[in-house]
Amino acid sequence: MADFLTAFQHVDPVALRIGSLAIRWYGLAYLAGFVGAWLLLRYFVRRWNLPVSSDDQTTIMFCVVLGVFLGGRLGYCLFYEPGYYLRNPLEIIAFWHGGISGMSFHGGFLGIVAGGAVASRLIKLPLLTLADLGSIGAPIGFGLGRLANFINGELWGRVSDLPWAIVFEAAGPARRHPSQLYEALLEGALLLVVMIALARKLPPRPRGELFGWLSLLYGAFRIFSEFFRQPDVQLGFIGGNWLTMGMLLSLPMVVGGVSLICWARRKPKPE
């Protein structure tokens, strides 16, 4: 198993070169995630018989894509290196300097919500209905992004002697948990299966419930995975030797998810 994972981890992060242009697996992961989410959105718009036209779907995807990138970048600057970016504000827009590590999931998540709010007003669809739709396909991007993290050899796990632990060259000679793959399986594959299973119910679940489940389950899976993931070097552990920024940012998602599920079930609103 370790040999297979090592070979997989040494795949060239650049998928395709066209002259001086390098197309990276991480960029393709973003693209595939958006396409997958769009296809599921189209399917469930028809299944739920929602008044959402093709133009409306394009508007939704444009707002979501913009929200992911702006929110992900601003979230990284705010949550992970606020001091540096306060001293160098122009670096905030320099995506190419931060690379992949210059993006934050939790910032991207907030960006999606903000983009969804804008799209909701533009197409006149309730925000929570739109959030439910987006929640179904979102795990595709989560999982593919973590696979790309693994290929890039970043966001590696803590030191381990388990049979499938491997060496990440940038992290030194010690063998470590392939924590990116743990997250890909939990936050990607498993979460996608659960969300599709929940979404297939007819009539649809009360408005907001699916978004609540996405927030709850992602937050719980992320907190669990953080026990195997090496904390960001510029932050380390927070207030001891176990709490990480990822855990701290995921806890409100769990609390908010539980609250939203309870609220949605207490006040069912047929679509």
Q: Is residue 174 part of a domain?
A: yes
Residue 217 lies in a domain: no
In a domain, 253, yes or no: no
Tell the residue number behind the tokens 């936050």, with chain if given.
187
> What's the number of domains the chain is made of?
1
Position 226 scores a pLDDT of: 95
Give pLDDT tens digits for 198-216: 999 999 999 999 999 999 9
**Which domain range does residue 13 map to?**
2-52+125-202
Q: What's the confidence (pLDDT) of residue 99? A: 44
Question: Average pLDDT for residues 152-160, to the nearest whole number?
Answer: 93
Whether residue 270 is contained in a domain is answered as no
Mean pLDDT value across residues 52-69: 94
- Sequence letter at residue 103: M
Query: What's the mean per-residue pLDDT of the chain?
Result: 90
Q: Does residue 143 lie within any of the structural domains?
A: yes
Query: So what's the pLDDT on residue 91?
Result: 74
pLDDT reported for residue 61: 94
Q: What is the SS3 assignment for 214? A: helix
Whether residue 139 contacts residue 191, with contact meaning beta carbons closer than 8 Å, is answered with: yes
pLDDT for 269: 53
Mean pLDDT of 62-66: 94
3-state secondary structure 1-54: CHHHHHHHHCCCCEEEEECCEEEEHHHHHHHHHHHHHHHHHHHHHHHCCCCCCH
pTM over 0.75: yes
Percent of the chain with pLDDT over 70: 95
Rg of the chain, C-alpha, whole Å: 19
Residue 158 in any domain: the answer is yes
Reading phi first (left if > 0) and then psi (alpha if -120 to 50, else beta), residue 174 is in: beta
Residue 188 lies in a domain: yes
Longest dimension (CA), the chain: 58
pLDDT in tens, 15-39: 999 888 889 998 899 999 999 999 9
pLDDT: which is higher, 238 or 176? 176
Over residues 99-107, the mean pLDDT reads 69
Does the residue 65 lie in any domain?
no
Which residues share a beta bridge with 17?
22
